[in-house]
Structure 1
Amino acid sequence: MTAEHTAGADVGDLSGRPDLYRDLEAVLMVVDQPVSEYDLAKGVDAPVDEVTRALESLSREYTEQGRGFDLRAVADGWRFYTRPECADVVEHFLKEGQEVRLTQAALETLAVVAYRQPVSRGRVSAVRGVNCDGVMRTLVLRGLIEETGHDPESGALLYRTTTYFLERLGLRGLDELPDLAPFLPDDIEGLDDTGDY
C-alpha cells in the first residue's frame, strides 16, 4: 500500500500530506497503548479531521486486504491489534512448544524484571537504556512475565515474573535466583531514586 493509493481512495483530498498514511503507520507501530486522534494529529503535525479520515481509511483497507492485523478505534484512541481469526496461530507461535530462543534483548529485559519486580516498563527501559515495550509484550505473551497492578505513586502498570518463569528456570522461588550484585555497575542503585518512569 502506498500513500498515493490510499489518498485516492475515499477519504477526500489529503494531497497536502501524501506521507500522512506512512507517518501514522510508523507512529502506531511503536505505541503500546491506544493513542487519541488529537495526540496523533499533534505528533504528525496534521489537522485532526485529516488524521481521522486517514485512520478510518487505513482500517478499512487492512480489512479489505485481509491483513493479519487490524487498526481499531477503541475508547482511548487507535492501535494495531492482531485479528481475532489469527489468535490461534499467534498463540501457537509464541507459546506452544516453540523452540526459538529468547533474544539477548529479551533475556536482559527478563533479568531486569526478575531482579527488580514489581517493575514498570519505563523503569526496565531506564535500566537497559533502550525502549523495552515490544520485548515486554513478547515476554507477557510467552507467559514469562505478567501484570501485577499499578504503582501507587505514578500509576504505571507493574510487571512480575510468573510461575512458568520459575518452572522454566527450575527454581522453587525467586530467592533461588543467583546474586546479581557482582555483575552490576556501581551506579545502578541510583536508578531507584530517579523518579517515576
Structure 2
Amino acid sequence: MQRGLGYEGIDVIKIGVMMGFISILLVYVIYGVQVGKGMGNKVYDNMSDAEIETDNANLKSLSYDYAILPAASVYSLIQYNSNEIHDITCYICDNAHGKYETVSDTPCLLEHLQGKVKLITEYDEMLGQYHLKIYPYSYTIKFDANGGSGNMANQEFVYDNSNSSSVLGEALTKNAFYKQGYNFAGWSITKGGNVTYTEGQKVKNLLLFGEFILYAVWTQ
C-alpha cells in the first residue's frame, strides 16, 4: 500500500513553491532596481546637461556684441539673468526711439514670442549690470490659397536687410497654388481684397516682427 505525502510532504512542497516565488520576485526587484537606476542616471545626466546649458546662457558671452536668437530664447535668458539686468530697450515696440522698461516690468517679449530678434548687451561698469537692446530681425510671410488648392512653405524675411541685392527687397516666393477654372492674379493683404503684390514682386519691411498673411487672388 502506497503512502501519501502527508502533512510534512505538503509543507515541504509549499515551502519550495514559496521559495521559488520569492526567487522570481527578487529577480524582478533587482532588475527593476537596475532599470530604475539606469533611468535615474539618464534623467540626472539630462538635468546636468540642461544645467550646463543654462549656466552657459549668461550675458557675459554676449557683452558688447550681438546675437540673433529666437524671441522665446531671449525671454528665457532675461528671466534667468534678471538680477544682472538693469534695463531693456525694445525697438520692436517703438522702432524709432525704443520702448524703455526695467526687468521688474513684464518684459514686452511676451508679446513678441514669434520669430527671431537681434539682441545687443552692454555692460555698465558703474552699475555692475547690463543694458539690453532688442531689435526686430525677421518676420514670416504665410501664404493662403484663399479657396485654391496646393501647399506653399512660409517665407522668412530679414527686417531692413542691407545685404539684399536690391533696395526693393526680396522677391516673394513663386505661387504654387491652383484653382480649377481660375487664373492667379497676385496677392492681397486681406481675404477678399484686391491685388496688393504681384507674382514674384520684391518686398521689404512689410512687418517689424511676427507673421504676415498674403491671400491668393483668383480671376476667371
The bucket for the TM-score relative to the shorter chain is: under 0.3
TM-score of the superposition, structure 1-length normalised?
A: 0.23
TM normalised by structure 2 equals 0.21
More helix by share: 1
Question: Greater relative contact order (Cα 8 A, min sep 6): structure 1 or 2?
Answer: 2
Structure (1 or 2) with the larger CA radius of gyration:
2
